[in-house]
Amino acid sequence: MTRPLYVLNGPNLNRLGKREPQIYGHTPLAEVEILCREAAGDTVLVFRQSNREYELIEWIHEAIDAEARGIVINPAAFTFTSIAILDALKQFPGPIIELHISNVHRREAIYHNSLVSKVATAVIAGLGPRGYPTAVRAIADLAA
């Protein structure tokens, strides 16, 4: 299967493992990527992180043009603020899984109103880093 699966990560996730480990755990993003690649099997996996909103938007456009099997996205703080990312995701015809390491609904109110959920096929929140391979496997099932 050559159609890739995109896993995109937003701001501050490059500091996973060091950043508020009591919330986000001790697993670095590089290890999360390994978990995703193991879950993806033969599916081509594109795994990226950026602190720049425009880069995430351009990667969503890239996934659209590559006719990707699906997108797993942890937009991090952009989840709650970025109409631009929402508008980009609206253009993607395939399955989208919104992923949060923490259960955002048990946290401060600023984390309760996701813009991305308006277009996501599904939302995974609170499974910790294991949420990522779970989301990758779910995309494989949805896109089968």
Residues of the shown chain interacting with ligand DHK in the complex, contacts defined by CB under 6 A:
12, 74, 76-77, 100-102, 104, 111
Active-site residue, from 24, 54, 61, 112: 24
Please confirm, yes or no, whether 112 is among the known catalytic residues: no
Q: Is 90 or 112 the residue whose CB approaches ligand DHK more closely?
A: 112
Name the minimum Å distance from CB 112 to ligand DHK.
Answer: 10
Please confirm, yes or no, whether 6 is among the known catalytic residues: no
Active-site residue, from 26, 100, 111, 112: 100
Name the minimum Å distance from CB 63 to ligand DHK.
Answer: 20
Q: Do the Cβ atoms of 81 and 40 come closer than 8 Å?
A: no
Name the minimum Å distance from CB 97 to ligand DHK.
Answer: 13
Name the minimum Å distance from CB 110 to ligand DHK.
Answer: 8
Q: Is 68 or 99 the residue whose CB approaches ligand DHK more closely?
A: 99
Q: Is 43 or 114 the residue whose CB approaches ligand DHK more closely?
A: 114
CA distance 120 to 90: 9
Residues 6+ apart with CB under 8 A from 88: 56, 57, 60, 61
Catalytically active residues, by annotation? 24, 100
